[in-house]
Amino acid sequence: MLKELVARCKLGYGTIPFPAKEPILPDRYRGCPVVDTARCPGQCRVCAEVCPTSAVKVSADGLHLDLGRCLFCGECETACPVNAIRFSREYRMAARRRQDMVLPGTGTGTARSLDARMKRLLGRALRLRQVSAGGCNACEADTNVLTTVVFDLGRFGIQFVASPRHADGILVTGPVTENMKPALIKTYEAVPAPKIVIAVGACAIAGGPYAGHKEVHDGVEGILPVDLYIPGCPPHPIVILDGLLRLLGRIGK
Amino acid sequence: MESKRFLRAYNSCPVGLRDIPLVSTAEFRETVVRSVADGARLAALFGRPHGPNTLRLLAVLARSREGALFIVETEVSDCYPSLTVDCPQAHWFEREMAEQWGVRPLGHPWLKPIRFHYSYRPGYDAWARSATEAIQPSVTDFFQVAGEEVHDVAVGPVHAGIIEPGHFRFQCHGENVYHLEISLGYQHRGVERAMLGGPTSRSAHYMETLAGDTSVGHMTAYCQAIEALQGCIVPARAYALRAVALEIERLANHTGDLGALAGDVGYLPTAAHCGRLRGDFLNLTALLCGNRFGRGLVRPGGVVFDLDADQAKLLLEKIGRIYNNVTTAVDLLWKTPSVVGRFEKTGRVLRQTCEDLGLVGPAARACGLERDVRYEFPSGIYALSHIPIALGETGDVFARAYVRWLEIQRSVAFIQKQMEMLPGGPIRAATGELPPERLVVSLTEGWRGEICHVAVTDVEGRFAHYKVVDPSFHNWMGLAMALRDQQISDFPLCNKSFNLSYCGHDL
């Protein structure tokens, strides 16, 4: 027992003070893109051409970036000759409605909390069943990391559980492969109502790099009703945590 | 090895497609079986369509004694004599070919789908299913054990924790497991097929998400293939930075695995500390490129982000600090007799089994086999700067855990050395078009083991075939063997000691 205590003293206290304090993100972190339509002359379309997932579109009504499809690869930022798209360090990116994820817009980052009834039911103790439906294990890993001492999800009353019967909702990653669709639906059905669905990562929101493949269903959309979208490839754990806390009304209004 | 039967090749050295010897099916079988018996390893075996009704089967054999690869092809239509009976390494490759191309390996002892999808050759199906018949995952014949009190335990595809989906069937007698059958395919996203006609703007993203925890590993293998085909000279600084990122990827995953192994035997101090320290390593990758998994760092021609002197200093400082903490956390394991007692003799894979199945990576090294691409088939900076192979002996959970710990120590020393003598100059070279009708085998030692990519170009220099062999493809059968004659409650521990990829297997 003594050696464990010595190790504990050496290694110290690891939990971060988020959300009380702003998180420390890497210098090169690519957060929410900023789309400056005023700068875009609207003719070159080079950003749309380099985008691997057609997240960037230039049409008659200007330049748009769909955060739900974005892989945060930064190709558009590098290609744009006039700096109309640049990646900020903003980690507040979760949205409640799919249409709120199209930039420029006002919907992302400030996801509203659940309604009063749901917040009363789930706000103090949220139990989630995670379903990996074709995810590459990056979204899964950065969701899993929330349960470590660093983020300590338990302190917010949020917990990942083994059985859907014990859950209040599911957190889905991956583009929903044809082979996982039945298991995803069965898992959802096994969760007692009222229940919520959270889509984490570009794949779960719109198929990610696999959008359009006949082996996948381009995300959860159209299969289950989604209550929270968390963009990224994969989203930084802080982005996921921020989204979950906003959903429960722990951050923001 | 007889030269006329094989084309000799090397890691990331392209060959002409027409130079590959085309032999009769009987000769192909005999050649592959004989060379494997003689110490070669089947790195890849796949089918590629050639004409309307014919299929070329291509084998890549790796011979570490010579650091060389040997390639041979044969032509088949709808069936051929199976290799698996005489060469167990071919087991899953043959099942894969049967599923993809509807070609039947006659006499295969265990012919079943592995990813559960329709055949890519219309009109050909190894199980004579019609095109309208629904294919449901894991709906197939499972291995049966009969007898009084014998029962099956079926788990998944959705497991208890936050992990990828797979279906496991334990054939048990009480608590004792006779055999574990593993049925995957739930993560199948059609990557190999989507690569055809490429490279496209998505190719790099497919590679980085083949197995998300091996983004740098798979991306490095892909880039090596592209660069070799083009004859592109990658700057030394880029090679060094790639290797640093690859070793950090190994550090993060090995640290996480040691923590998870501790958790699986109920020893929470190491589990809690290592969970955090794994994240610290991921943050080092983010220091290199902004993404914790190394997305967007490695690209054909080199790397996208450079390190200035201050960042290099910061990286060195941080890695030293994290390593000290990992040492403190992991030492607890080896000094706790109840942990060591649970690790030892659990999930043992015999050295002979390991050789027969062609296991790779830490799972093979834990059985005492010197299998490490960085040493046997070095490329990039590994050709100039060596990293000692970490070996175990006993082939049990303990050995697989201890090999990881040894590798952590060696990877840290390697990174420190690379950072201290980081070559100057540019970080990326220009890349161009791919040449027509060439084939290249690209090997990289990812943290799970050998990553093998084989790229074939058509007459226009586009991908006519792209084969990915994740180390998990070789090793899943190893996990099944490790479970034989174990308690079913040992499964989480055995599983974590391999920590194989589902999506890397399912593609």
Mean pLDDT of chain B: 94
Whether B194 and A51 lie within 8 Å, measured CB to CB:
no
Q: Which two tokens stand for residue B292?
A: 């914790």
ipTM of the complex: 0.93
Residue of A nearest to B267 (CA): A4
Whether A73 and B329 lie within 8 Å, measured CB to CB:
no
End-to-end CA distance of chain B: 33
- Residue A173 banded pLDDT, cuts 50, 70, 90: very high
Mutate to test the interface with B, among A15, A24, A137, A150 (most CBs of B within 10 A): A137
Q: Side chain identity at B5, as an amino acid letter?
A: R
CB interface of B with A, residues 10-29, below 8 Å? none
Q: Does B385 touch chain A (CB under 8 A)?
A: no
CA distance B210 to B130: 30
Please give, one letter per residue, the 3-state secondary structure of B391-419.
CCCCCCHHHHHHHHHHHHHHHHHHHHHHH
Write the DSSP assignment of A180-216 as a string of letters: THHHHHHHHHHSPSS-EEEEEHHHHHH-GGGTT-TTB
All residues of chain A having their beta carbon less than 8 Å from the beta carbon of residue B325 are 10-11
Q: Which two tokens stand for residue A70?
A: 């974005």
8 Å CB contact between A32 and A68: no
CA distance A85 to A39: 9
The answer on pLDDT for A50 being more than 60 is: yes
**Closest Cβ–Cβ partner in B164, B201, B288 for A132:** B164
The answer on pLDDT for A109 being more than 80 is: no
Q: Report the pLDDT value the prediction gives residue A43, as an integer from 0 to 100.
A: 82
CB interface of B with A, residues 308-337, below 8 Å? 325, 328-329, 331-332, 335
Q: Report the pLDDT value the prediction gives residue A14, as an integer from 0 to 100.
A: 86
Residue of B nearest to A6 (CA): B328
CA distance A34 to A64: 10
8 Å CB contact between B333 and B262: yes
CA distance B278 to A33: 28
Residue of A nearest to B191 (CA): A210
- Residue A105 banded pLDDT, cuts 50, 70, 90: confident
Whether B213 and A141 lie within 8 Å, measured CB to CB:
yes
Q: Does B218 touch chain A (CB under 8 A)?
A: no
Q: Report the pLDDT value the prediction gives residue A253, as an integer from 0 to 100.
A: 55
Q: Length of chain B, please?
A: 507
Question: What average pLDDT does range A239-252 have in this prediction?
Answer: 91
pTM for the model stands at 0.95
Mutate to test the interface with A, among B115, B158, B222 (most CBs of A within 10 A): B158
Q: Report the pLDDT value the prediction gives residue A107, as an integer from 0 to 100.
A: 67
All residues of chain B having their beta carbon less than 8 Å from the beta carbon of residue A177 are 186-189
Q: Report the pLDDT value the prediction gives residue B4, as an integer from 0 to 100.
A: 67
**Closest Cβ–Cβ partner in B188, B212, B335 for A136:** B212
Mean pLDDT of chain A: 92
Q: Report the pLDDT value the prediction gives residue A104, as an integer from 0 to 100.
A: 87
Among B461, B482, B380, B449, smallest CA distance to B218 is for B449
8 Å CB contact between B145 and B151: no
As a whole-number percent, the residues of chain B with pLDDT over 70 amount to 99
- Range scoring the smallest mean pLDDT among A31-45, A97-111, B251-265, B457-471: A97-111
Q: Which two tokens stand for residue B426?
A: 């540019």
All residues of chain A having their beta carbon less than 8 Å from the beta carbon of residue B189 are 134, 175, 177, 210, 213, 215-216
Chain centroid to Cα B277, Å, comes to: 24
Question: What average pLDDT does range A110-119 have in this prediction?
Answer: 85
Residue of B nearest to A144 (CA): B162
Q: Report the pLDDT value the prediction gives residue B156, as an integer from 0 to 100.
A: 83
Q: Report the pLDDT value the prediction gives residue A119, as an integer from 0 to 100.
A: 87
Cis peptide before A234 (omega within 30 of 0): yes
Whether A71 and B188 lie within 8 Å, measured CB to CB:
no
Whether B209 and A29 lie within 8 Å, measured CB to CB:
no
Side-chain half-sphere of B367: how many Cα atoms within 13 Å? 23
Question: What average pLDDT does range B286-305 have in this prediction?
Answer: 94
- Range scoring the smallest mean pLDDT among A164-178, B31-45, B140-154: B140-154
Q: Report the pLDDT value the prediction gives residue A112, as an integer from 0 to 100.
A: 85
Q: Is B214 exposed, middle or buried (0-12, 13-18, 19+ CB in 10 A)?
A: buried
How many A×B Cβ pairs under 8 Å? 178
Whether A136 and B210 lie within 8 Å, measured CB to CB:
yes
Q: Does B118 touch chain A (CB under 8 A)?
A: no
The residues with which B16 forms a beta bridge, in sequence order, are: B438
Neighbour tally for B344: CB within 10 Å = 13
Q: Which two tokens stand for residue A21?
A: 């304090």
Q: Does B428 touch chain A (CB under 8 A)?
A: no
Q: Report the pLDDT value the prediction gives residue B3, as an integer from 0 to 100.
A: 54
As a whole-number percent, the residues of chain A with pLDDT over 70 amount to 99
Residue of A nearest to B289 (CA): A28
- Residue B198 banded pLDDT, cuts 50, 70, 90: confident
CB interface of B with A, residues 167-186, below 8 Å? 185-186
Please give, rounded to a whole number of angstroms, the shortest distance from the CA of B359 to a CA of chain A. Answer: 22
Question: What average pLDDT does range B361-372 have in this prediction?
Answer: 95
- Residue B2 banded pLDDT, cuts 50, 70, 90: low
As a whole-number percent, the residues of chain B with pLDDT over 90 amount to 91
- Range scoring the smallest mean pLDDT among B110-114, B130-134, B309-313, B430-434: B130-134
Give strand ranges (E) for B50-158: 55-63, 68-76, 79-81, 104-106, 150-155
Whether B189 and A132 lie within 8 Å, measured CB to CB:
no
All residues of chain B having their beta carbon less than 8 Å from the beta carbon of residue A5 are none
- Residue B359 banded pLDDT, cuts 50, 70, 90: very high
CA distance B357 to B216: 26
CB interface of B with A, residues 58-117, below 8 Å? 115-117
Tracing tokens 């199976």 back to the chain, one arrives at B82
Supply angle C-alpha B43, B439, B296, rounded to 5: 80
Whether A27 and B215 lie within 8 Å, measured CB to CB:
no
Torsion angle of the four alpha carbons A24, A30, A32, A34, in this order, in degrees rounded to the nearest 10: 120
Please give, rounded to a whole number of angstroms, the shortest distance from the CA of A80 to a CA of chain B. Answer: 16
The answer on pLDDT for A9 being more than 70 is: yes
The residues with which A171 forms a beta bridge, in sequence order, are: A130, A198
Q: Does B350 touch chain A (CB under 8 A)?
A: no
Mutate to test the interface with A, among B155, B162, B506 (most CBs of A within 10 A): B162
Mutate to test the interface with B, among A177, A184, A187 (most CBs of B within 10 A): A177
Enclosing H/E stretch for A142: helix A138-144
Please give, rounded to a whole number of angstroms, the shortest distance from the CA of A200 to a CA of chain B. Answer: 13
Whether A138 and B209 lie within 8 Å, measured CB to CB:
yes
Side-chain half-sphere of B404: how many Cα atoms within 13 Å? 32
All residues of chain A having their beta carbon less than 8 Å from the beta carbon of residue B269 are 4, 7-8
Q: Does B462 touch chain A (CB under 8 A)?
A: no
